[in-house]
Structure 1
Amino acid sequence: MTRLLLHHATLIDGTGAAPLADAAVLIDDGRIHWAGTLSDAPTDDAVRIDVGGNTICPGFFDCHVHFSLPGGGATPLDRALHPPSYHYFQLIERLRATLHNGVTTARDLMGIDAGVRDAVAHGLVEGPRLLVAINMLSQTCGHADFHLPSGLDLTPMIGGSLVDTVDEARRRTRQLIAAGADVLKVASSGGVSSPSDQPEWLGMRRELIAAVVEEAAAYGHKRVAAHAIGHAGIEAAVEAGVTSIEHGYQLDDALRQRMVDAGIFLVPTLLETMADVTASPSGQAKSARWHALAHESIAASAAAGVKIAVGTDAGLGPGHGTNLRELGLLVRFGGLTPMQAIVAGTSTSAQLCGLSDELGTVAAGKVADLVVVRGDPLADIDGLGEPQNILLVLKEGRVAVDRGGFVPVAGAAAAAPPPESTTPR
């Protein structure tokens, strides 16, 4: 692979440090070889890429997506209208749009299997590096239970697994890990979009979640994400020792402190709260109530010191490729500064995913996932959510998209298929 020197840039490195003016980043063999002020750059034969005074950021994460769902106002039942083969072709555009709009790593928390992850890692299709949960676990009449009043059971199609005993939870966790799951997802509360429950209802009980956590730790130290909206579900998940609370709308100060003490992350999914994910009047009422609560809750969580990572629920309401709009919402509702929002979407999210040794910051030795953003994102954090402002995306040092026209064809190394990835998936 050609050595590239990106220069004439401001660097936001993902650590929260002040931006570095007149910066440059040297890429060699898919990794960052050096980063700093251009005047200190190593002198060699690297292809020099002038990025026009724009800003280099680490590749962004979305820690809560659903590539199996259509997003953008389309009904989730779309999946029931076509044969499975059609669904895989739909994935191609969803993955591509996400990568091209600045997300180089995504955690899919229900709906796609390890084959999709591996197809991306092996260069068969474009997309962000993937971590997959495969299914979401809940009890009968829980958030993963999509038995409809008509008698139809969409649970397997949506990506749900129902477990009603500790032994069933242990067995299904082992089965998912054997199938290649990188992360386990449990539903410890009801949900907004599910047909049979309410967000304030307790979902999987503490003992079921604890069994999943124990099995996940025993089989490769896998992490556990908990869909938890209402207070009872959040409390059960925190007590059981999950890695992250997804949504967390009804957190109180006592639970926030317990999360801080235990190092549990919060993934607020504010972008999902801006979309209508239900069709029925009762579902719309649930949505209005709980999404308003989400907007009120996130600032208190951030102020309490809870570690905030970025996730959007893209596919369940938000369109694929709109992921970075979440950063502006973290500023608007969460009280984060633009720099704190960028850190949430890079280094904090990398920590949540267990990838901080390789990704999340711009530093020598790390994988060269980089995004060149138009202008100054600290002055216009909402601009990150607009495709025209994502000028260049590099994944593992290769050009995924070059809207800025920065990279000469001879230096892009974009036409050659990547080798089987040896970097984190």
Structure 2
Amino acid sequence: MAPNADSNGHTNGHHSNAPCIPAGHESLRPPLYHMEGTDTNSKILFRNVRIFDSTGADPYPGDVLIHGERIAAVGDIDISGHDITAAKVIEGNGRFLMSGLCDAHTHLTWNNTGNLDALGDTPVEEHTLFAMRSARTYLDYGYTMCFGAASAKQRIDVVIRNAVNAGDIAGPRYLANGQEMAPPGGELIPSITAYASGPEEMRRVVKRHIETGCNQIKLSMSGEEITERLSADDTTFSDDEVKACVETAHAAGLRVCGHARSAESVIQCVTYGVDVIYHASYIDSEGMDMLEKAKDKHWVAPGINWIVGTLNDAAAFGYTPQKAEQVGYKRELEAACKGMQEMRRRGIRVLPGGDYGFAWTPHGTYARDLDHMVRLFGYTPKEALIIATAGGGDMFMHPNDLGKIQPGFLADLILVDGNPLEDIKCLQDLEKIQVVMINGRIHREGSGAKESAEVPPVAGDDGNVHVIVPDLDLGKMTLGEGSPQTISAH
């Protein structure tokens, strides 16, 4: 048997999700979607691996047996108790086996562009195909759980989620979002915004999102320095508007997430029950105290790589480090790191992931966030791995099905040729991620099988080789002046 028995109540594979969910929040648990395509009779044995089970135990040697969709046995397995004559055997040779990773702030429709308004300009047909490629890229890199943080066009997230669950395309377990909501003047990118003004119209637009099949609702509650119109310190929603959105979404069993960089917007999130707080860069002492008291009801995903990338990697796309510092990103990075370090100290849930899919934060670079958690926020590599695995199961509100290598859990696993506890950057290297399993079936396998993994190109930078990412007249990186794209409130 594996050391450190599961603390969440597992007994012989039987489990309940209730213990980790605060009282009154059971109604907000999203479905644990069934993923088609796994043979219920299949058996796969990982033999001689170093098991990182995400319970807090150190890695230990052993075997892991998968039967159908779920993990059947872990550790020192008594083979006589299992019929493995027809099992596929994967020889680990001491490699590192861990749960698949979670990205807590996913934009499948962010299409690697350097012109932000091109998110709205890309035709919906090509845009859907690009999102399909993005979903596969997440899975190629070992991300088996992704939490949608906004869709550039209203139904793309939902369509991709449904196609993945149906087994029609490759991708991670996905919780879908719709277009980001904002009041007029509070939008970050006009061409991809769902506008609403006042509490009643907010309620109507939230209901329209719900009708499309979204799992959560996104509010653009603060500004963003790159707009040079709305600062990260600015707050865009009124209290009544936030309250109306949360009440309407929660009544339908949906959670709410908020782009909330300003101190005031973070306080609004905690006061009115916005479940997932994105960024929280300028959280103040009042907001920190409030969040600590309600930390079992909220998740924070700082999306720090957007700031790091904008400061360090955007120059090739016309946005210099000097410009990024001038508009306030260096100041924001310093404030955000200080805030996240304090959240770690107070035990507030902070998860990795955010805003991948721009030219300077391209798809396929997702594991940068894990390195940032260690270097910038002060987490140990072990803490970062547990947060990115078991923490993902918690965020999906199915903590006894997802995110750990324990009997009864769904078999979403990655085999790594390296030790992330010694070098967490190895998870950024596709060649190190040698087996990816989701729902008990192998997605890809091989030593550095780059041929089986496709990273979408940067839009406008491929000579029109890839038709789903047509060349665009990007010019200098700009937000553009697109017309508002709305969801009718009537």
Task: State the TM-score, normalized to the length of structure 1.
Answer: 0.86
Tell me if 1:296 matches 2:335. Answer: no
Distance 1:193 1:117 in 2: 30
Counterpart Cα distance in 2 of 1:193 and 1:16: 39
Out of 405, 412, 422, the position equivalent to 1:362 is 405
Q: Is the 8 A contact 1:133 1:183 kept in 2?
A: yes
Distance 1:55 1:280, change over 3 A: closer
Contact 2:235–2:265 (Cα < 8 Å) also in 1 = yes
Which residue of structure 2 aligns with residue 420 of structure 1? none
1:32 matches 2:71: yes
Partner of 1:83: 123
The equivalences for 1:170-189 within 5 A come to: 170-189=203-222
1:386 counterpart residue number:
429
Greater alpha carbon shift after TM alignment, 56-65 vs 396-405: 396-405
Q: Which residue of structure 2 lines up, in the alignment, with residue 201 of structure 1?
A: 234
Measured after TM superposition, the shift of residue 127 of structure 1 is 1.2
Return the alpha-carbon distance in structure 1 between the equivalents of residues 307 and 119 of structure 2: 22
State the 1:192 CA deviation.
3.1
Shift of 1:195: 5.7
1:273 aligns with 2:280: no
Q: CA deviation at 1:340?
A: 0.7
Q: Does 1:337 align with 2:337?
A: no
Counterpart CA distance in 1 for 2:431 and 2:406 is 26
Q: Which one-letter code corresponds to 1:117 in the other structure? A: R
State which of 258, 263, 269 in structure 1 corresponds to 2:290.
258
Pair 1:81–1:235, CA change in 2 (3 A): closer
- Secondary structure of 2:427's partner? helix
Residue 243 of structure 1 corresponds to which residue in structure 2? 275
Out of 349, 362, 375, the position equivalent to 1:319 is 362
1:70 and 2:102 are equivalent in the alignment: no
Q: Which amino acid aligns with 1:179?
A: T
Q: TM-score, normalised by structure 2?
A: 0.75
User: Per-residue deviation at 1:240?
Assistant: 1.0
For residue 132 of structure 1, report the CA deviation from its aligned partner: 1.1
Change in CA separation of 1:229 and 1:302 when aligned onto 2, cut-off 3 Å: same
1:308 alignment counterpart: 350
Once the 2 structures are TM-superposed, how far is the Cα of residue 310 of structure 1 from its aligned partner?
Answer: 1.9
1:254-286 deviations in Å (ceiling 9; x for gaps)? 322321221222111122222126966866623
Deviation at 1:116, TM superposition (A): 1.5
For the Cα contact (< 8 Å) 1:70–1:76, is it kept in 2? no
Whichever residue aligns with residue 318 of structure 1, its letter is: T
Q: Find the partner of 2:184 among 140, 146, 159.
A: 140
- Aligned partners of 1:143 and 1:196 also within 8 Å: no
Consecutive unaligned residues of structure 2, counting only runs of 5 or more, are 1-38, 450-490
Shift of 1:289: 3.0
Query: In the alignment, which residue of structure 2 is the partner of 1:22?
Result: 61
Contact 1:142 1:196 in 2 (8 A): no
What is the alpha-carbon distance in structure 1 between the residues aligned to residue 122 and residue 240 of structure 2?
Answer: 38
Matches of 1:80 and 1:259, distance apart in 2: 34
- With over 3 angstroms needed to count, the CA separation of the structure-2 counterparts of 1:195 and 1:109, relative to structure 1, is farther
Distance, in Å, in 2 between the alignment partners of 1:201 and 1:405 is: 45
- CA separation of 1:36/1:257 partners in 2, compared to 1, >3 Å: closer, same or farther? farther
For 1:247, give the aligned amino acid.
Answer: H
How far has the Cα of 1:48 moved from its partner? 2.2
Counterparts in 2 of 1:41 and 1:69: CA distance versus 1, 3 Å? farther
Q: Could you tell me the percent identity over the aligned residues?
A: 25
Give the letter aligned to residue 96 of structure 2. T
Q: How many residues align?
A: 392
